[in-house]
Amino acid sequence: MGNPGMLTEGELRDIEYRTLLSIGGGAGLHLPHAAAGLYLFLARRIYILTISIRPLLDTQNGRRHFEVNMDIFMNAAEQMVMDGRAAIISSVDPATVPFICTCTPGKPVCECMFPRRLWASGDRGGRGITWPPKPILWFGAVSDYDWLSFIGASTSAIVGTVSRNGDSYTATINYFLDDYYDWELNSEDGAGLVLDAEMAQLHLYGWAKSYRIDGYVHGIELTWQRKQRFGSENQPTLVLP
């Protein structure tokens, strides 16, 4: 007799089949990243997926998170960069981003929590700034749900070179995202026709393979006047590659 705690080959094939159906459903519902993420999970061929997350910045939730981080970046620059000088400013502790959301099935509103962020200047002795979590509401769109299903919770970082001329600031920024594509073994959540816990079992039994996602956007240009912020009437100038 087999171990009663072990899954049989038939049970694993059933989970795999329902995962494949979920991939097809995701593609049919215009969720390309969610579908591709599951496909690569089943393919078991990669350890690290390096991708541009530029499309993430076009989603409502991703763009809002990015602009909030840019506001924090500008706060740090205005406190740290001396007139006529330049400095490198970066986030120095990882935070869970960009999606920490509690969503109610069948309803378009999700409550999302932005993370605490600590900043430090490239100049020695620069002061750090802390920012506590702040909940917001966002109204989901297909593109938001696509990235939420693909990335879920992740970590991000920003590195930027800032120059100052009086009250004028110019920055070139690189934006990074790091995620481990995996599933919680004890989770009751699900995607499509399969539960998170079942997909975790596929990895555990060697029928699928979790992998790391390295996301990036390089060469973001940001210019602003002192006290200019996103969400205000007079917004900074942002040029995305």
CA 157/CA 212 separation, integer angstroms: 16
Whether the predicted pLDDT of 224 surpasses 80: yes
Say whether pLDDT at 1 is over 80. Answer: no
Q: Out of 52-66, 90-104, 162-176, give the one with best mean pLDDT.
A: 162-176
Residue 5: the pLDDT is: 66
pLDDT in tens, 108-127: 444 433 333 333 333 333 33
Between 31 and 71, where is the model more confident?
Answer: 71
Note the pTM of the prediction, 2 decimals. Answer: 0.72
Residue 112 phi, psi dihedral angles, 5° rounding: -120, 145
Domain spans, the chain = 50-193+215-239
